[in-house]
Amino acid sequence: MNGFVIKGNILYSASMGKINVFPRHFLVCENGLCRGIFAELPDKYKDLPLHDYKDQMIIPGLTDLHIHAPQFGFRGTGMDMELLDWLDHQAFPEEAKYADEDYAKKAYSIFAEALKASATTRAVIFGTRHKAATECLMDLMEDTGLVTYVGKVNMDQNAPEGLREQSAEDSAAQTVEWLEDISGKYRYTRPILTPRFIPSCSRELLEKLKGVRKTYDLPVQSHLSENPEEIELVGKLFPEASFYGDCYDRYDLFGNRPGGKFTGRTVMAHCVYSSDAEAERIRRNDVIVAHCPASNLDLASGIAPIRKYLDMGLRVGLGSDVAGGQTESIFRAMTYAVQASKMYWRLVDQSAKPLTFEEVFYMATVGGGWFFGNVGKFEEGYEFDALILNDERFPHPQELSLHQRLERFAYLGGDMSGIEAKYVAGRKVK
């Protein structure tokens, strides 16, 4: 048996809107799984190695449900454009460079180091359409010890020569080759089917990806209803679809229909403008929404109506959407989500109660963790992902509760230097 114990101020969310606090408690890990939180360490765990993190906070790891690895290099630039112009002028020209494996290795090494140092323990990642570069990204992610899904992007139309794949056949064939190449190669790094978004994918390509998903039972990631111009374009390209998400669903790339057999889950980024019918389909097919508030603001896409989705019972997690969002910090995503929801309430819909810190903490841990199985809580049987937070750099004259310290850590950007240690599935990775 392989286990250890850590001690400190433990906080985690068991249900939406509530944070449980355990000052100076013990947290036990055995074989990568959480065995529970204890005020007194039970005798059966007395022989396990113990690390006391003293007054520091221990929280579950954070999940980034949506991030573009090849865009990390230009994050924080070109923030004055909307989505379609930004793709043409920022994202596509940069992504075209990943045909060069040396460039990919250099850029992805920087990305992997940054993600390893961040508060993110699990991530769902877009690569580019290039097979070799995507395999390089997977090798590097494996070395970080984080658990990730990584996708080779599919895009056979509406992109510049050089980045656009030659044909639907070519795109699908490259995807199958990629899946065969990496089959059995990694422990922590998994493939995910990645049609970029509907404007990038011909019907022929979607039909082929449907077959690939069926053969390999893959999870799926893509973008949905992010920007008004984009949605208009989708309407023109796919007049037969009832709404944007229906384009994916027609090709079995949208979660699981009731009674469906896919074990691989689907995450859709953004959903800023999902109609009630689209939101209902998201719920029915058990698709998870990756709410990316930094990107919603930076690309002026709009504010996703997350309160409505929560009221409808949709699954929601958080994404950084680097580089549509400027930062990989999921703590920043949490606080932007609260801020954006307040503006939505003030300016758009006074019946949409702003999100609370407790709710966004749940989304960042348990909400997004669902994509990976039992992840995001410190409960028996959950995978042991934990962050040790050091907030000493924010001294305070008054008493603060642990709950206040956690909120402040998030709002003040404590993760930029305050991640003291990080565990993923019981392994210390930092």
Residues that bind ligand GUN (CB under 6 A): 68, 83, 87, 91, 196-197, 223, 226, 295, 321, 324
Residue 142 corresponds to which tokens in the numbers above?
């494996």
| CA dist., res. 199 & res. 184, Å (int) | 32
Nearest to 332 by CA among 422, 393, 415, 430: 415
The residue whose two tokens read 């930092």 is 430
Query: From the CB of 97, what's the least distance to ligand GUN, in Å?
Result: 14
- Give the count of beta carbons closer than 10 Å to the beta carbon of residue 67: 27
The interface partner of residue 196, options being ligand GUN, Fe ion, none and the CB cut-off 5 to 8 Å by kind, is ligand GUN
Asked if 383 is part of the footprint of Fe ion (rule: CB under 5 A), the reply reads: no
The 10 Å CB-count burial string (b at 16+, else e) for 320-338 is bbbbbbbbbbbbbbbbbbb
Identity of the residue, 64 or 321, whose beta carbon is nearer to ligand GUN in the bound complex: 321
User: Between residues 45 and 149, which has the closer beta carbon with respect to Fe ion?
Assistant: 149
State the residue number with the nearest CB to ligand GUN: 324
Name the residue nearer to ligand GUN (CB basis): 145 or 305. 305
Q: Residue 318 binds which entry of Fe ion, ligand GUN, none, with Cβ cut-offs from 5 to 8 Å by kind? A: none
Interacting partner of 329 out of Fe ion, ligand GUN, none (Cβ under 5 to 8 A depending on kind)? none
**Residue ranges in 221-280 that form contacts with Fe ion under rule CB under 5 A:** 269
Strands 3-15 and 194-195, sheet pairing? unpaired
CB-nearer residue toward Fe ion: 35 or 223: 223
From Fe ion, ligand GUN, none, which one binds at residue 226 (CB under 5 to 8 Å depending on kind)? ligand GUN
Q: How far is the CB of 430 from ligand GUN (least distance, A)?
A: 28
Q: Which does 104 bind (CB under 5 to 8 A by kind): Fe ion, ligand GUN, none?
A: none
Nearest residue to Fe ion on Cβ basis: 321
State the DSSP H helix or E strand holding residue 14, giving kind and residue range, or none if neither.
strand 3-15
Q: How far is the CB of 321 from Fe ion (least distance, A)?
A: 4
User: Which partner in ligand GUN, Fe ion, none is near 135 (CB below 5 to 8 A by kind)?
Assistant: none
Residue with Cβ nearer Fe ion (156 or 321) = 321
Amino acid at the residue 375: V
Report in angstroms how near the CB of residue 70 gets to Fe ion at its nearest.
11
C-alpha 385/C-alpha 377 separation (Å) is 8
> How many residues are listed for the chain in this entry?
430
Contacts of 280 (CB under 8 A, 6+ apart): 312
**Whole-number minimum distance, CB 388 to Fe ion, in Å?**
30
Residue closer to ligand GUN (CB basis): 144 or 296: 296
Choose between 165 and 226: whose C-beta lies nearer to ligand GUN.
226
The contacts of residue 83 (CB under 8 Å, 6+ apart) are 226, 227, 229, 230, 299, 301, 324
321 is an interface residue for Fe ion by CB under 5 A: yes
Number of residues counted as binding Fe ion (CB under 5 A): 2
- Binds 197: which of ligand GUN, Fe ion, none (CB < 5-8 Å by kind): ligand GUN
**What tokens appear for 73 in the block?**
């290099």
Going by C-beta distance under 8 Å and a sequence separation of 6 or more, which residues neighbour residue 158?
164, 199, 200
Least separation in angstroms between CB 409 and ligand GUN: 27
d(C-alpha 400, C-alpha 67), whole Å: 34
- Identify the bridge partners of residue 120 per DSSP, sorted by sequence position: 62
Q: Which does 370 bind (CB under 5 to 8 A by kind): ligand GUN, Fe ion, none?
A: none
Closer to Fe ion by CB, 6 or 83: give it.
83
Contact 224, 271 (CB under 8 A): yes
| 10 DSSP β-pair partners | 22, 58
Q: Which stretch binds Fe ion (CB under 5 A): 4-12, 72-80, 321-329, 392-400?
A: 321-329
Burial of 261 (0-12, 13-18, 19+ CB in 10 A): exposed
Contacts to Fe ion by CB under 5 A = 269, 321
